[in-house]
Amino acid sequence: MTLAIQQALQGLNQIVLGKPQQLKLTLACLIARGHLLIEDIPGVGKTTLALALAKVLGLKFQRVQFTSDLLPADILGVSIYEQASGAFRFHPGPIFAQLVLADEVNRASPKTQSALLEAMEERQVTAEGETRVLPEPFFVIATQNPSHQIGTFPLPESQLDRFLMRISLGYPSAEAERALLMERERRDLLAETVPALTPAQLLDLQEQAKAVRTSPALLDYLVALIQSTRNHQGLRQGLSPRAGLSLRRAAQAWALIEGRSGVIPEDVQAVFAAVVNHRLVAASEREAGAPTAEDILARVAIP
Amino acid sequence: MSDYLTQTTLLRLLAVLLLVLGPHLTRLPAWESLLLLTVIGWRALIALRQWRLPAPWLRSLIALACFAAVYANFRSISGMTAGTALLSVMAVLKLLEMRARRDVMVVVLLMYFILVTHFLFSQELWTVLYLLGSAIAITALLMDCNHAGEALPLRMLLRAGGVMVLRALPLMLVFFVLFPRIPGPLWSLPTDAGGGRTGLSENMSPGDIASLMESDEVAFRVRFLDRVPAPGERYWRGPVFDRFDGRGWKPSGLTVPRPPVIEGSGAPLHYELTLEPQGTRWLLALDMPDPTALPPDSALVGDGLLIAPRPIEQRRIVQASAYTRYVLSPTLGGRELAQALQLPPGYNPRTRELAAQWRAQGLDDAAIVQKALQMFRRENFSYTLQPPRLARDSVDDFLFNTRAGFCEHYAGSFTFLMRAANIPARVVTGYQGGEKNEVGDYYVVRQYDAHAWSEVWLQGRGWVRIDPTAAVAPERVEHGVASALTLATGLPGFFAHRNGARLSLTMRWDWVNAKWNAWVLAYGPELQADFLRNFGIEDVGTMIAVMTVLITLATGVVSLLMLRQFMSVQPHDPALRLWRRALRRLQKLGLEQQPPEGPRDFAERVTRERPELGSAMQRLLSAYLRLRYLDGGHAPEAEREMLAATRALRR
């Protein structure tokens, strides 16, 4: 199985250049049955990443470009009266896919955002009194531009919690940039990429991740980390129990990718920033004083 | 309101400043005390009414004016009082430019400094208690000032401050005991606090000793080591006057510096006298000092007075011995004889007449003395604090008209009478009696025990002490001055309530003070050396070495105790124990796990930095991870593997 994961990572790395850590996190997020928020400026390869993931993992892909006039029905689907049958028939929206890219999610109204987030959480859609289960595996990658742009509705803190991880890609290094410019179009490369995993294998991996051992010593470490966010002076809010569970799931997925049967502290450290940063609420408005995940890691000794 | 200090904290700061300055307010000139209070009040109004602080030029002007005023007042800016005055006024003026946290800190630290200056003026027990209390208040204030936001509750601050000061006490004691003592006063400051001391004076005119009755200050305390002399033997010798100028008695200045001949009989009496500083040289020894066993740093002069080479400015312990039965100066030199008979011409004709009359009766010297004492006893003489004013011929007036007086009247007129009868005589002042402290088994002699008596020189008996007051009021000598005076004569208030519980409380307090003097204030270089000798420390060098070792040990123990809080006790998890053992070994090799660094990252770093340790490190790591994270349960072979890998970790 490790081999398949390695191949998948390799495939991704060929398309998104110079971002192995982010790609690994993305895969871990997927294996941990979480959703991913990518926060970044336009044009650094968010869409490409989503497309590559869909291709490599062989997932059915849908993309929704969020705009200010997007309605919940545009995502979830709508029932239309059909003359031929004389009945209403449900036309599923783009959410009914295995990998959904919600592009620029902060441009839509809060109502539409919350429709998406509810579907993400419940993994089902209720429309016209009928509940429809979303396909498995189901994975949402939402992208968000840095929120200080005009005409945007940044996701509220309570909803950020629905994303297992938040990452940003950032500019590529000079070396990766050069390779990017030299090689062919990414879209063309994508077309040639072969899937490394089947959806069934992915589901299997998700099951295996749940079984990765978290020893008492490791749980002590997790507890210490979570506790330290709760009594940190620079934080208004620490990590919730849900965040703690998410941290454990993410670390298990990471350990699985690393090919380990149990989680070690380094696995927790590897996913910590991505899982935690968007859940910490700084005590003061000023950016400078707010502690980051790195600060917290540095404070807490491994028991 | 200012952002650096809340109004509450600022008002607290002013209150603590008042507390710290309090005792100085009574010592400083009145204008300055008033100025300090005004500025503090002004600052409080600035805070309460949101006024503006004075402009910089005005502040500078005020500061310069105050500096000039202090200089004008004291003609100096150094010295004990002037320095304190300057420090106080500048600390208070700092309030007017307190506009940032930094200024607040300056004021708070100045308060600590002002607090110490109180020791320059008083080192009594209550001063120490007051200083401790003030230190707690300042420390509490310091915490409040350092705390951002709302003022903290007072009770909490004071408790925390108290705990901090109490924690410092052991260190204070160590320094007190071990810090090298400097002989003499610590600050060689001009002793400008000499004025206004009560005590015996350099000459005696009627009313001088009566004025001492107003004071219940302790003159000295005394502990008798073998036998307590009877009250009638407890005469403590002060200045001796042998010159009468018609009005008062003075020393002639002709006293021979060499010691007089003293022939004691019986066993000498040993005692220890703790003398309060009075700025004079006399040591107030019990009559008559044993000339063969004088206390160190003292001398006996011709009139039997024991003196110190310099005025006594610090409390002094005198260990001396005395003969209560003695012959002083069995022979008298011509000059001494002449001085002992000196009388100014043209004064007190009636007294001279009386003396001549007695002489004419053919009485010898001793008989004339008895005759005079009989006169005092039989005629209508009274002992009072408020004698009527005397005319120019004061002795005549006293002996024949008023017949009411205090000890100096009796001693003075008796001496005059003796001289008029051609008997060598002189006036001796000093203290008589003393009150026993039942708690501490010692005697307290206070200023109101001051006394004056006479000495006459009789052939073959030397100088003989004659106390004419004892003839008039024997209870003065037997039971002290309070019982000799009736209430009608207007005794000072402190005599009025000398009964039961109050008396016992006074005695206890005096006993506490005596112990304080003996153990704390008297702890000078000699006592320190004695004390340290018990521990085999002979000189200052050794002491500093011992102190260094002790302090290092103390800080070491404290650090260890603090470290224990950070280091958990020996872990139960065998894997962790083995891992820590390996870490200690690696530490010796210069490799240390940095706190957030996980075991794998650490192992990788070790491998990178010391490739020769790589394989052992990998074995150690994989066994450790297996034991602690990957597999559950007990795995003896993995533990053995860790041990083996640890042993393999070597250069």
Which CATH number goes with the domain that contains A237?
1.10.8.80
Q: pLDDT-derived band of residue B211, with 50, 70 and 90 as boundaries?
A: confident
Number of domains in chain A: 2
B6 to chain A, closest Cα gap in Å? 21
Q: How many degrees, rounded to 5, is the angle at CA A35 between CA A30 and CA A41?
A: 110
**How far from B167 is each of A278, B138, B172, B556, B620, CA to CA, in Å?**
45, 15, 9, 16, 46
Task: Looking at the structure, tell me whether residues A162 and A236 fall in a common domain.
Answer: no
In the predicted model, is pLDDT for residue A252 greater than 90? yes
pLDDT in the model for residue A267: 92
Query: Which of these, A88, A54, A26, lies nearest to A254 by C-alpha position?
Result: A26
* Chain A CB within 8 Å of residue B574 CB: no
> What residues make up the domain containing A266?
212-299
Contact A265 B630 (CB under 8 A): no
Per-residue pLDDT tens digits for B421-477: 999 999 998 998 888 887 778 888 888 888 889 999 988 888 999 999 888 888 887
Task: Looking at the structure, tell me whether residues A20 and A142 fall in a common domain.
Answer: yes
Please check whether residue A237 lies inside any domain of the structure.
Answer: yes
pLDDT in the model for residue A31: 92
Task: Looking at the structure, tell me whether residues A160 and A103 fall in a common domain.
Answer: yes
Of A217, A263, A301, the CB nearest to B573: A217
Which of the residue ranges A217-226, B397-406, B487-496 would you say has the lowest mean pLDDT?
B487-496
Please check whether residue A177 lies inside any domain of the structure.
Answer: no
Per-residue pLDDT tens digits for A150-171: 677 878 777 888 899 999 888 8
Task: Looking at the structure, tell me whether residues A163 and A216 fall in a common domain.
Answer: no
Domain ranges of chain B: 7-178, 208-493, 535-563, 574-648
Give me B262's structure tokens: 């003293």
pLDDT in the model for residue A245: 93
Per-residue pLDDT tens digits for B378-425: 888 888 877 788 888 888 888 888 888 888 888 999 999 999 999 999
Per-residue pLDDT tens digits for B351-364: 999 988 888 888 88
Q: Whole-angstrom Cα distance, residue B307 to residue B311?
A: 9
Cα B113 → chain centroid: 19
Last residue of a domain, one of A170, A199, A227: A170
Task: Specify whether the CB–CB gap between A168 and A39 falls below 8 A.
Answer: yes
Taking residues A205-210, report their average pLDDT.
Answer: 91
Taking residues B144-170, report their average pLDDT.
Answer: 83
In the predicted model, is pLDDT for residue A247 greater than 90? yes
pLDDT in the model for residue A287: 54
Per-residue pLDDT tens digits for B223-267: 888 888 888 889 999 888 888 888 888 887 766 667 788 888 888
Nearest 10 degrees: CA dihedral of B399, B403, B405, B409? 0
User: What burial class does residue B603 get, using C-beta atoms within 10 Å of its C-beta: 0-12 exposed, 13-18 middle, 19+ buried?
Assistant: buried
Q: Whole-angstrom Cα distance, residue A107 to residue A155?
A: 10
Task: Looking at the structure, tell me whether residues A155 and A36 fall in a common domain.
Answer: yes
Interface pTM (ipTM) of the complex?
0.84
Please check whether residue A207 lies inside any domain of the structure.
Answer: no
Please check whether residue A9 lies inside any domain of the structure.
Answer: yes
Per-residue pLDDT tens digits for A43-54: 888 888 888 888
pLDDT in the model for residue B1: 42
Task: Looking at the structure, tell me whether residues A141 and A280 fall in a common domain.
Answer: no
Task: Looking at the structure, tell me whether residues A133 and A58 fall in a common domain.
Answer: yes
Q: pLDDT-derived band of residue B485, with 50, 70 and 90 as boundaries?
A: low
Q: Which residues of A touch B (CB under 8 A)?
A: 213, 215, 217-218, 260-266, 269, 297-298, 300-302
Q: Which residues of B371-404 are buried (b: 16+ CB within 10 A; e: fewer)?
A: bbbebbeeeebebbbebeebeebbbbbbbeebbb
Q: pLDDT-derived band of residue B589, with 50, 70 and 90 as boundaries?
A: confident
Last residue of a domain, one of A110, A144, A170: A170
Mean residue pLDDT of chain B comes to: 82
Please check whether residue A204 lies inside any domain of the structure.
Answer: no
Taking residues B40-66, report their average pLDDT.
Answer: 86
pLDDT in the model for residue B182: 66
Please check whether residue A234 lies inside any domain of the structure.
Answer: yes
In the predicted model, is pLDDT for residue A83 greater than 70? yes
In the predicted model, is pLDDT for residue B618 greater than 80? yes
Which of the residue ranges A56-65, B393-402, B543-552 would you say has the lowest mean pLDDT?
B543-552
Q: Does the annotation count B145 as an active-site position? A: no
Please check whether residue A194 lies inside any domain of the structure.
Answer: no
pLDDT in the model for residue A246: 92
Which of the residue ranges A198-212, A248-262, B47-61 would you say has the lowest mean pLDDT?
B47-61
pLDDT in the model for residue A164: 92
Give the CA count within 13 Å in the CB-facing half-sphere of B210. Answer: 20
Task: Looking at the structure, tell me whether residues A163 and A16 fall in a common domain.
Answer: yes
Q: pLDDT-derived band of residue B487, with 50, 70 and 90 as boundaries?
A: very low
Task: Specify whether the CB–CB gap between B208 and B239 falls below 8 A.
Answer: no
Q: What is the CATH number of the domain that holds A134?
A: 3.40.50.300
Residues of B (114-143) whose Cβ lies below 8 Å from A? none
Helix (H, G, I), strand (E, B), or coil: what is residue A157?
A: helix
In the predicted model, is pLDDT for residue B150 greater than 90? no
For residue B512, count other CB atoms closer than 10 A to its CB. Answer: 13
Task: Looking at the structure, tell me whether residues A125 and A274 fall in a common domain.
Answer: no
Q: Does the annotation count B451 as an active-site position? A: yes
Task: Looking at the structure, tell me whether residues A22 and A143 fall in a common domain.
Answer: yes
pLDDT in the model for residue A58: 87
Catalytic residue among B144, B290, B397, B407: B407
Please check whether residue A147 lies inside any domain of the structure.
Answer: yes
Q: Whole-angstrom Cα distance, residue B341 to residue B248?
A: 15
pLDDT in the model for residue A14: 85
B108 to chain A, closest Cα gap in Å? 28
In the predicted model, is pLDDT for residue B92 greater than 70? yes
pLDDT in the model for residue B505: 78
Contact B576 A217 (CB under 8 A): yes
